[in-house]
Structure 1
Amino acid sequence: MNAAMQCDYFDRGACRSCTLMGTPYDVQLAAKMAHAREVLAAWPDAVWLPPMTSASHGFRNRAKMVVGGTSDNPTLGILDSTQHGVDLTGCGILSAGLRAAFAPITAFISRARITPYDIPARRGELKHVLLTQSPDGDLMLRFVLRSTEALGRIRKHLPALLTDLPQLAVVTANLLPEHKAVLEGDEEILLSGGESLAMRLGSLVLHLRPASFFQTNTEVAAGLYAQAKAWIDEVAPRSVWDLYCGVGGFALHVAAPGRRIHGVEVSAPAVESARLSASEAGLADVTFAVGDATALSAGDIPDAIIVNPPRRGLGDRLCAVLEASGVPTIIYSSCNATTLAQDIAAMPAYAPQRIRLFDMFPQTDHSEVMVLLTRR
């Protein structure tokens, strides 16, 4: 656990995304804890629980690979300073299942003659390969294309890829016609398999649709959900809101007989996934709606609220709604301790009781911090 991870890509300067690469894991963790404690020092009475650690390598369940090179010799990885491809298919923080899938995918790109997109020239078709692995080892593969030009060839050669990679449960083409620095477009075309990847966490199955968000570290995500469930069970609320609910991870895990759960999420595919998971689990009292969490009013206040916002935090409007709500318990899960501290300060009616760091992102200075807040 304490040994430093070695990475050839990092050592030769090909990729520096893992800013803490080469730093012993215990040193990384201590620095993250020190930073979180410093940022949240305004609440000295809060109890800090032991951090949840992670495997230092092979922990990522999702790869976002930029495609470079040529159709004869494609690269999957990142782009260098000249906007040309750098192959990272041996990246050590990716799961073994992801790394093993890249060779068949690369061969498929050549076989189907899919031209990688050339950013400086603004020509070509294949922009990204997005690959996700479930806890059961199944894969969801997404080809991000500039147009439908290659779809016929992709469909023609897809059976051979499915033979080479039988663990492919979902294959789609995503269309991103615009020349801009985004990962994916709005249109998704199902090519093979079902509409979602089953992410099994214990007794629950979360369904992940192509455009939905899921934590990149499955083991630590399970720990995050388990901690939220423990805190919710402790206060035993009859009703819970899950804001920024995504595919329903928190909502589904804190469900219990006699407890009403309602999740709100702006992504319609994520809400569809969450509803499917709740239906399969027989959780009739768990509901989800498409909506903007920041637009909520303070009416019909539940007994507890879980919030898991993006890095920018809750923002002034939602903080004001929560501050005025009177809800007894808030669980705040954050991937940015700085905005977490700002939001807590904007809700002076609430005091942190317990804080726990979850090392979701080893080899970087990022982490997830979850706080149990109670009304004063």
Structure 2
Amino acid sequence: MTTTDVGAVVVGGGLVGSAAAWQLARRGRDVLLLERFGPGHVHGASHGASRIFRRTYADPTYVRLAQEAEAAWRELEERTGTDLLTRTGGVDHGSAQALAGLVATLRSLDEPHELLPAAAAAERWPGLSFETEVLFSPATGRVHADRAVAALQQAAALEGGEVRHHARVARLDVDGDHALVELEDGTRLRTRELVVAAGGWAHDLVGHLVPLPRITVTQEQPAHFQAAVPTEAWPAVVHHARPGDGTPADAYALATPGEGYKVGFHGVGPVVHPDERDYAATPEGLAQLRAYVGRWFPGLDPATAEPISCTYATTDDEHFVLDRRGPLTVAAGFSGHGFKFGPVLGRVLADLVDGRPAAAMFGLESVRTAARGLSTGSS
């Protein structure tokens, strides 16, 4: 059977793989992006109309990546003529320990922020409820997910890359300094530069080739709610759970224009294989989410919940996997908070292909102890 040599192959046409294809193509690589499904599919973690963009992290590495990402999103908008990033402002509230960590980091990096008493925040944003001090970040906003993936693929094509949908990979192998890619249709490819950004399918595709950490795939079930009051001025919300909050985990919320106000818990969905999902909210999970909205979002109608479904692929410490072994570069474990960094993750992967290492915390050999929560990351 004939094997075709390709300069660089990217497997996975979601956000991260598409970003890698763009960044590699603009560096002059002959890039082929392979996506198992069709454009705009709903089977992974990159679809929909809204993701939170924020720079409120306790870890300065993520703050710096988000600062770089904002400029990269604006560059992508200009390159493709697409509106992607909208500033709305954002608030964090809840756990005093989580907020203290955020404030300390933001101060150390001269990142604009404001602290408000709970009553002042509730007065400023009618329809939202707070019981603790509130951290406001003017840089927070939302990214339109579907448009972002399409724009990244458009940008890759403008740089000479090829985007191929409905191209399912059957097997990956490494042979010395080459990687071998076999598609279900029998196509065989050989490359010295293989990037795999396969989301929930990471272990299926590369688990036999590199020592991936544990990555837990869950089917998350946020929902859109309709408002009884105007929400145009509402910020995005990150709620750091504390005892008595009536929530099973940290939570997030943001407007999705035309669909409602999206509210969800962070990383509490049932464990699934991405090929075996039912795309349905559990009755217990939906009831818990409605009760949460009733307590913390008096401007929303809990009865109007319209569930939506996506996947998380989560490492134990919620740090990403961005590393290279031989001809294989791996991107995995974005843990429900990777979307905001999209174009920059592509840059990091292109740097890895070029031989420049990523931060040690993203390495395959990194020690990953459980440290879950929105103080590490969020939507």
Do both proteins adopt the same fold according to a TM-score greater than 0.5, normalized to the shorter chain?
no
- Quick one: higher RCO (CA 8 Å, sep 6+), 1 or 2? 2
Normalising by structure 2, we get a TM-score of 0.24
